[in-house]
Amino acid sequence: LDNQMYNLEVQCMALEEAIMNAKQLEAMQAASKAMKNAVKEEDLENAEDIQEAIQEGMDLGQELNDLLNQPLVDCGDDDELLAELDDIMDDGLLYNNNKQKVQPKIEMKEDPFQEEEEEEEEEEESD
């Protein structure tokens, strides 16, 4: 009796599996039909045209970006610019008694922003 029960249970499981497989196949066929209806050749051609138009727009944007990044004036060679910068820097240096270059001393207030903060605090207190 136990073997018969076991055989019936196995047959029920096999039948349930076959029914599930059939339903799965039906669902796959319905999905296939729906996809064929949704994606037609015309849609593919339209998508390709749109993609090409987008690519052309991006290419034009890149050309414009490249054009705007070009210098308006030819500044010359980098070595010349660096030499000119060195000359300018040399002009800004002071010489001591031994004719050695020293940086000029620039005296500043303790904290230039501190005065502004104090003024703002005073205004807030008066309000």
DSSP 39: S
Q: 125: helix, coil or strand?
A: helix
Do 102 and 96 form a contact (C-beta atoms < 8 A)?
A: yes
Q: What integer pLDDT is reported at residue 45 of this predicted model?
A: 78
**pLDDT (tens digit per residue) in 10-64:** 999 999 999 999 999 999 999 988 888 877 767 777 888 889 999 999 999 999 8
